[in-house]
Amino acid sequence: MSGYRFERLRVLVVDDNPHMRKLVITILQAFGVVQIFEAGDGDKAWAMIREANPDVVFLDWMMDGLNGLEVAQLIRTSPQTPNPFVPVIMLTGYTTLDKVRAARDAGINEFLAKPVSVKAVMSRLVAVIEQPRPYVRTKLYFGPCRRRRGQDEYRGPERRVLAAAEPSSVGAAAR
């Protein structure tokens, strides 16, 4: 299927729907992933993350107990997290722009719309491996950089630097 060797990868699949969980697990097994952990709700997922310390997490949004966004925020910010940098791929049927932004703002690396396909699972898995985004820490956010475009494309002034140096210069430049 690909040139990747996933047998050493530890993956956690979290979904309250056992059929969806089994589908994702079967796809991952077809890719050669051997170490697969699963959880049926957010509370079990949080316990499994601390116990198994996975390399990648496939995380459903809507679940009983902790939902996917809450689990993602714990992964990124809790002192109990074993790895705040673990790639998290959000699985959801909620694909409106506001939901995608909310997932991004919770520290999700990639977004995967249900129903999933083999190609989509592979592309997200490869994306978190081949194109890891740098992580950003601010007072209100920790997670992968939310800017999706390559830095080589932008040739203007660095807004974050300008905003820190001269707060009014950004507004003036936009006028």
CB 107 within 8 A of CB 135: no
Count Cβ atoms within 10 A of the Cβ of residue 139 and give its class: 0-12 exposed, 13-18 middle, 19 or more buried.
exposed
Q: Rounded to whole angstroms, how far apart are CA atoms 10 and 7?
A: 8
Apex 140 CA angle, 139 and 146, nearest 5: 115
**pLDDT value at 97 more than 70:** yes
pLDDT confidence of residue 158: 63
pLDDT confidence of residue 135: 80
Higher-pLDDT residue of 160 and 166 is: 160
pLDDT confidence of residue 6: 93
The 3-class secondary structure across 116-161, one letter per residue, is CCHHHHHHHHHHHHHCCCCEEECCCCEEECCCCCCHHHCCCCCHHH
This prediction's pTM: 0.81
Half-sphere exposure of 62 (CA within 13 A, CB side): 9
pLDDT tens sequence across 32-72: 999 999 999 999 999 999 999 999 999 999 998 999 999 99
If you average pLDDT over residues 21-34, what whole number do you get? 97
Domains and CATH numbers, the chain: 10-145 (3.40.50.2300)
Tokens of 31: 């890719």
Q: Rounded to whole angstroms, how far apart are CA atoms 29 and 175?
A: 54
